[in-house]
Amino acid sequence: MGPYQQEPNDEELYEHHKFLASKGQEPLRVDKFLMNFIENATRNKIQQAARDGHIWVNGTIVKQNYKVKAGDEVKVLFEHPPHELLLTPEDIPLDIVYEDESLMVVNKPAGMVVHPGHGNYSGTLINALLFHTKDLPTNEDERPGLVHRIDKDTSGLLVVAKTEAAMTHLAKQFFDKTSEREYIALVWGNVEEDEGTIEGHIARNPKNRLQMQVFPLGDEGKEAVTHYKVLERLGYVTLLSCKLETGRTHQIRVHMKFIGHTLFNDERYGGDKILKGTTFTKYKQFVDNAFKILPRQALHAKTLGFVHPVTGEYMRFDTELPEDMAQCILKWQDYAKHSKP
């Protein structure tokens, strides 16, 4: 896949380095150019960054053999923020479901960002965690405490490691697919099968870096497996239980869109449009009201299970649906009683 034009303003990317090639710059391969500027950089790491699409020149992703010319703006962007953005403790209330010396289980509200990012350098779960617990271990992306994450507008359960040993033990469970994660989702359309499995590699959409995309042939991205089960059919929408075997970015959101059942009010994937139903003004008004009740994607991380890293005991946590999602489902249940698609 060749380079493509895209301004590096993706909320998932963070600027780590930025250099402007001087007027006297002779053409020089970008990997060699960066070696001259970045302290402690190795050629191998720079070339890997280029292969992963993290080196940009004048707003375009380039390969390592790109020749830097006078006046070029060279940026290195990664999906994890520079370490200094993570270290500000903030006194933000946390809904702690469980806590001991090794770990915490937190019920994250919708709207709270898990870790700092563009436009969200404060008010995140990490800022709150650092205030609550002074010394948190970092994961491989240098994010304190995080074993896994959920999207800003998804609510529900997260486990946070408080020690290095807990981080290693819990991360291995997620990697080995032995942890239990169940989500409740409201999706557009009547899902035909009562239960099923969606398999399809997931990678960033090359035309829109804010979206992920399914690559069913497995030629790009990482393996992703979602098991779903119909809980209730509500006419133009369906209530599902989704169990994750893998945990990729936006996995349920992009997998459900892939099978033609985008999450209700998932703006990023088109679920904020009326995708099923009638053209009657009354129906449109009903859906608009449902969007107002639930102004986010209809997704909640309801159940979380794992083996405790110290005691070896299997722990399972369950939460009620948050008020906005529960009210939206009630509205659809009532509508389904009085109308037939």
Same domain as 199, residue 260: yes
Q: How far apart are CA 324 and CA 327, in angstroms?
A: 5
Beta strands 155-161 and 299-307, pairing class: parallel
The mean pLDDT value for 42-69 works out to: 89
For the ranges 7-21, 32-46, 119-133, 291-305, the lowest mean pLDDT is seen at 7-21
| Cα-based angle 199, 297, 267 (whole degrees, multiple of 5) | 95
**What is the pLDDT, as a whole number, of residue 1?**
35
Torsion of CA 336, 323, 148, 164, to 10 degrees: -150
**Can you name the residues that pair with 235 across neighbouring β-strands?**
none
Q: What is the pLDDT of residue 81?
A: 64
The mean per-residue pLDDT over the stretch 119-135 comes to: 85
Strands 103-108 and 28-29: unpaired
**Between residues 8 and 16, the one the model is more confident about:** 16
Residues 276 and 246 in one domain: yes
Q: Which of 134, 188, 132, 137 is nearest to 162 (CA)?
A: 137
Residue 200 has pLDDT above 60, yes or no: yes
Query: Is the same domain home to 43 and 103?
Result: no
Q: Does the residue 263 lie in any domain?
A: yes
DSSP run (H or E) holding 286: helix 281-293
Which residues lie below 8 Å from residue 311, measured CB to CB, with a gap of 6+? none
Q: Is there a single domain that holds both residue 224 and residue 237?
A: yes
The CATH number assigned to the domain holding 273 equals: 3.30.2350.10
Contacts for 244 with CB less than 8 Å, ≥ 6 apart? 181, 182, 183, 225, 226, 251, 252
* Whole-number pLDDT of residue 12: 62
Residue 6 lies inside a defined structural domain of this protein = no
Q: How many structural domains are present in the chain?
A: 3
Instruction: Clarify whether residues 340 and 245 are in a common domain.
Output: yes
Domain residues for the domain of 133 are 82-176
* Residue 1 forms part of a structural domain: no
Backbone angles phi, psi at 49, to 5 degrees: -60, -40
Q: How many angstroms separate the Cα of 63 from the Cα of each of 5, 30, 44, 172?
A: 13, 8, 13, 33
The percent of residues in the chain predicted with pLDDT above 70, rounded, is 91
In this predicted structure, which of 5-14, 89-98, 148-157, 197-206 has the lowest mean pLDDT? 5-14
Q: How confident is the model at residue 122 (pLDDT cuts 50, 70, 90)?
A: confident
CATH number of the domain residue 40 falls in: 3.10.290.10
Ranking 28-42, 95-109, 155-169, 216-230 by mean pLDDT, the lowest is: 28-42
> 73: which 2 tokens?
């703006």
**For residue 287, is it within any domain?**
yes
Q: Are residues 113 and 241 in the same domain?
A: no
Q: What is the pLDDT of residues 225-237, one digit of tens each?
A: 999 999 999 999 9
Residue 216 Rama label (left phi>0; alpha psi -120 to 50; beta): alpha
Mean pLDDT across 298-306: 98
What's the CA gap between 236 and 277, in Å, rounded?
A: 6
Task: Please check whether residue 9 lies inside any domain of the structure.
Answer: no
CA atoms within 13 Å, Cβ hemisphere of 35 = 12
Task: List the catalytic residues.
Answer: 151
- Can you give the pLDDT at residue 86? 55
**Token pair in block for residue 278:** 């009638």
Q: Is the pLDDT of residue 296 over 50?
A: yes
CA distance to 17, 75, 102, 200, 275, per residue, from 132 (Å): 31, 35, 14, 38, 43
pLDDT of residue 84: 58
DSSP H or E segment with residue 289: helix 281-293
Average pLDDT in the chain: 89
Q: What is the mean pLDDT of residues 246-274?
A: 96
One domain, residues 67 and 120? no
Residue 10: what pLDDT? 45
pLDDT of 5 strictly over 60: no
Q: Which of 23-27, 250-254, 277-281 has the highest mean pLDDT?
A: 250-254
The reply to whether 282 and 162 lie within a common domain is: no
When computed from its CA atoms, the radius of gyration of the chain, rounded to whole angstroms, is 22
253 within domain boundaries: yes
129 and 207 share one domain: no
The last residue of a domain, from among 176, 196, 220: 176
pLDDT tens, position by position, 28-42: 999 999 988 887 678
Are the beta carbons of 138 and 162 closer than 8 angstroms? Answer: no
The pTM of this model reads 0.78
Instruction: Flag the least confident range among 70-74, 135-139, 188-192, 205-209.
Output: 205-209
Torsions phi, psi of 128, nearest 5?
-70, -40
